[in-house]
A and B are shown apart, each in its own frame.
Chain A
Amino acid sequence: MKSSRYLVAVPAALALALAGCGGSTGSSGDGSSDSGSSAGAPTDDSNCASEDVFCVGLVTDTGKVDDKSFNQSAHEGAQAAAEELGGFYKYIETQDAKDYAANMAQFTNKSYDVVVTVGFLMADATVEAAASNPDTMFIGVDQDYSEQAPEGTNITGLTFPADQAGYAAGFLAAQMTKTNKLGQVLGLEIPTVVAFAEGYKNGAKAVNPDISVATVYHPAGDNAFSDPVWGASEAKKQLSQGVDVIFGAGGGTGNGALQEVAKSSGAGTDTFCIGVDSDQWETVPAAHPCLLTSAMKLISQGVTDTVTAASENGEFEDVQTTGEVGLAPYHDFDSTVPEDVKTKVADVVSQLQDGSLETGVTL
């Protein structure tokens, strides 16, 4: 029976596809070398229920803690906070969106003090977990609870004013352009991305109202953040229409745009690109020839501060906590960007952070 062979092939294929399910974990007790500084720190989570033992757990979005982006920043922030406070830290990498609740339960069952959940897709699961576990404090990174309106004081959403980061990037871009044409290649038109984009526009117009900003959002839903081919093609089109600074904001799609600018003939002298979210000098090495800076959310710092505040106060003041944003270092372009521009940009960033400068973006 030849035809019976494929009865094996299909389950085998499914098994392959499903092989990734479950979750991988890691903790501060895993290696003695990296937790050597905190001599008195607990090495496992068996005593988390005790008053004296401070335990921090982190659940990633479907990504890994070494993704050089969102998850990694949050992971480093939480780890730093646990070390500082002499606590125990453990993370779980979610493999599938349906495991959010189960992964959080692994921490709440052991009475962890603080659970950090990363990514805006986990907002609903986090609110639910917070309601049924009043003794654990939840921090939702990049989660906005204005729609769920959770009641407890054990939950806060840590968000970052993307419009400010975009504004600073636009302010810099406007001083670097020679053609007075800026561009941006964006992921899906969702609030965070729109905030970046509108901020970028307003920042540029603040320098010179005559500057034009070509703006394109990725049209399709499912792969809007993982379509570097589309991003590259849009960047190429903008470049040939005279745009000389391109802001790529939208995961892999934006990275595609950065790489296209890096490949263009005037990269680093006439054409520049600006990254987003984290310092993309680290994440997209292919963009080095053009990458001026990145419009950054200071996620690590935000998570550390919020975890520390949670351990001190035992409750959150507000259901929403606002982190800070800034621009990444200029790296190789440190000498390309004129000193007076650097000073002006630094001024704008600090004014944005202390609230004395408004971006004018309303969503």
Chain B
Amino acid sequence: MAWVMRNRVTVGLLAVVVVAAYVFYWAANDIAPSMYVSAWGYAIPLVLAALVGVIGERSGVVNIGIEGQMLIAAFAGFFTAAATGSILVGVLVGVGSGLVAGAFLAWTTVRWRMDQIIAGVVLNIVATGITSFYYTPGKILPGVIPNLDIPVLQDIPLVGEVFFSGRSWIATVAILAAIGIHLLLFHTRWGLRTRAVGEYPSAADTAGINVERLRLVNVTIAGSLAGLAGVYLSMDASSSFERGMTAGRGFLALAIMIMGAWRPLRAFAMALFFGFVNAVASQLQQSGLGVDGEPSGFLEWLLAAVTSPQILATLPYVAVLVVLGLAAGRVRAPGAVGQPYVKGDQ
């Protein structure tokens, strides 16, 4: 109960959201379920990518190369699967390439103390260059990543339909990863050390923690989650690779990480929220709220302007701005984020 009292704002908000979600679910049963499904589908790669950012920044390394990591993994996974005829090999290579990209970032920023922003940008540029150059059209996947329907849970109205059925196991991994990393970060020795290294590395160093090694390991392993997000994009959510197909999702994930106050579960919630606003935007467009033909009169003109795809498309970003505005001053980045740690310098 003490926990509920301490987190009453969060709990209250959560309750309101859940009730509202169920009300909408029953009230608009023709469109609501598909909107929720679409929201979660949109959120999956964002959750995974935001977790990469959370682990990185909690250890004191800014990772703006998530976009590039995802792109490389999407590319490597898709073309390996197409070439070898095995989905499993494709997934493994995709995740592995995310890991390698993570290792690149870790090594350049932690060992060589390269500026973290520049290292991330380099990663993004290299990823775009390589994947665009070696892209060949017309390849197909040998199959699909199998769906994972979880017994019992899948029968819960709404929640079961959205989270526990009709999705591949990558979706389940995303849920487990968010919960798992939350527990690891806040309830284990590794988590405490990671947060210490990200907040005050010289103190952590004094306490006997190997700052450099912990950062190297964390950033590298987080790369595998980015790899999984990339694999999801090219092999699960769609079945093709396109140049630049990550389409800014890596950067979006960073915004979601900040909205989620560098906490895995809040980032998860924020990704879902973002996905839902996105689904609302496209549903409004699809339902044809807009005016057919030339608008006559000011009101019709206004309606046509507001419901044009360009304006509706800004809805998710406006929502982000509002949330960030509300959160301003209440959330704080890890203290040592962005600074390479040099032993004995402080």
A complexed with B = yes
User: Which residues of chain A have a CB within 8 Å of any CB of chain B?
Assistant: 2-3, 5-6, 9-10, 13-14, 16-20, 67-69, 189, 214-217, 219-220, 222-223, 226-234, 236-238, 240-241, 251-252, 255-256, 259-260, 263, 283-286
CB distance from B209 to the nearest CB of A (A): 22
B141→A9 contact, CB < 8 A: no
Tell me the bound Cα distance from A286 to B118 in angstroms.
Answer: 38
CB distance from B34 to the nearest CB of A (A): 4
A16→B126 contact, CB < 8 A: yes
Q: Which of A2, A68, A232, A260 contacts B137 (CB 8 A)?
A: A68
What residue of chain B has the Cβ atom nearest to residue A263's Cβ? Answer: B144
CB distance from A18 to the nearest CB of B (A): 8
Tell me the bound Cα distance from A305 to B309 in angstroms.
Answer: 38
Which B residues touch A229, using CB under 8 A? 45, 233, 237-238, 245, 247
B126→A223 contact, CB < 8 A: no
Q: Indicate whether B41 reaches chain A with its CB closer than 8 angstroms.
A: yes
Tell me the bound Cα distance from A260 to B309 in angstroms.
Answer: 22
Tell me the bound Cα distance from A169 to B34 in angstroms.
Answer: 26
Give 7 nearest A-B pairs by CB, closest first. Answer: A219-B313, A228-B238, A17-B129, A252-B242, A240-B34, A226-B242, A223-B247
Tell me what chain A mostly uses at the interface: helix, strand, loop, or mixed: helix
A241→B282 contact, CB < 8 A: no
Which B residues touch A189, using CB under 8 A? 309-310
B118→A285 contact, CB < 8 A: no
A13→B122 contact, CB < 8 A: yes
Q: Which of B35, B128, B138, B242 contacts A68 (CB 8 A)?
A: B138
Listed A/B pairs (30) with beta-carbon separation below 8 Å: A2-B111, A3-B112, A6-B108, A13-B122, A19-B133, A215-B286, A216-B282, A219-B281, A219-B312, A219-B313, A220-B313, A226-B244, A226-B245, A227-B242, A229-B237, A233-B42, A234-B282, A236-B34, A237-B37, A237-B283, A237-B286, A240-B33, A252-B242, A252-B243, A252-B245, A260-B238, A263-B239, A283-B137, A283-B138, A286-B140
Interface size for chain B: under 10, 10 to 19, 20 to 34, or 35 or more residues? 35 or more
Which B residues touch A230, using CB under 8 A? 247
Within 8 A of A (CB), among B17-72: 30-31, 33-35, 37-38, 41-42, 45
How many cross-chain pairs have Cβ atoms below 8 Å apart between A and B? 142
Within 8 A of A (CB), among B213-266: 233, 237-240, 242-245, 247-248
Contacts known (A9-B108, A214-B286, A227-B247); A241 close to B31, Cβ less than 8 A:
yes
What residue of chain A has the Cβ atom nearest to residue B114's Cβ? Answer: A6
Tell me the bound Cα distance from A67 to B113 in angstroms.
Answer: 42
A10→B247 contact, CB < 8 A: no
Contacts known (A16-B126, A189-B309, A226-B243); A236 close to B37, Cβ less than 8 A:
yes
Within 8 A of A (CB), among B107-126: 108, 111-114, 118-119, 122, 125-126
Which A residues touch B38, using CB under 8 A? 233-234, 236-237
Q: Indicate whether B188 reaches chain A with its CB closer than 8 angstroms.
A: no
A216→B285 contact, CB < 8 A: yes
A231→B125 contact, CB < 8 A: no
Which A residues touch B33, using CB under 8 A? 240
